[in-house]
Each structure stands twice: as C-alpha cells, then as structure tokens.
A = this chain, B = another copy of it.
Amino acid sequence: MKKLFVLGLVMTSMMAMAQENKRSITLVNYETDGVKQWLPGTIIAKKGETVEITLINNVPSGIHGFFIPTFNVRKEVKKGTKEVVSFKADKEGLFEMKCHMHPAHVGGQLLILP
C-alpha cells in the first residue's frame, strides 16, 4: 500500500515535470491582399522545452505552409483547418520560420533562450 502511494507520488511529480517542460503556442494565418503570414510572428521558448504549435488557417485563399528548417518541422494547413506540430527545442539561438510552399510569404522568428 505504502509502495503504491510512493509510486503515485513519483508519477505525479514526473507528470508535473513533463507539464513544465511543454510550451503551447497558437499561430493564426492572416492575409491582406495576397500577402500571408502566421501571427504572432515571433515565438520564444527555452532550451529543453517541447514546443507545441497549433496552426489555425481561416484565410479564404487556401492552404498555407509552416516550416522551421532547424527543427525539421514542416506542415501544410488547409483552409478552415487546424494542425498541431511539436518539436524539442534542443538548441538555443535565433531561427527562421517560413512557408515552404510559398517562399514569398512573410516569415517569422523563433528565439530559443538558454
């Protein structure tokens, strides 16, 4: 009985730690006169965190891509849908986010703090 209780405590604290190391962010696709971008255009996270990004695309002109080359994140988001990507922020620095489908689209910035 006591062992089960201790095991429960350990599991709870492990879950809490996992929770702490996850950062959830939502980006929304905006379009003005054919120019598209995900906003907010800046994401900040800390090294070691798992970054989960929800991508919402409601613009009328269709599919929009989301691409973070450094962390190998790549997703197409169809009009009227929502997609979720996640990655482990295992290095610090300043990185680019862009649309791999339409290089002309406006990119964003990802800052991973130490």
Residues of A within 8 A of B (CB): 25-30, 32-33, 35, 37, 39-46, 56, 58-59, 94, 106-109, 111, 113
Contact = CB atoms under 8 A, between A and B. Distances in A.
Contacts of A25: 107, 109
Among A40, A59, A113, the most chain B Cβ lie within 10 Å of the Cβ of: A40
Nearest to A80: B33
A106 B41 contact: no
A26 B94 contact: no
Contact of A32 (B30, B35, B107): B30
Contacts of A35: 28, 56, 58
A21 to B, nearest CB: 13
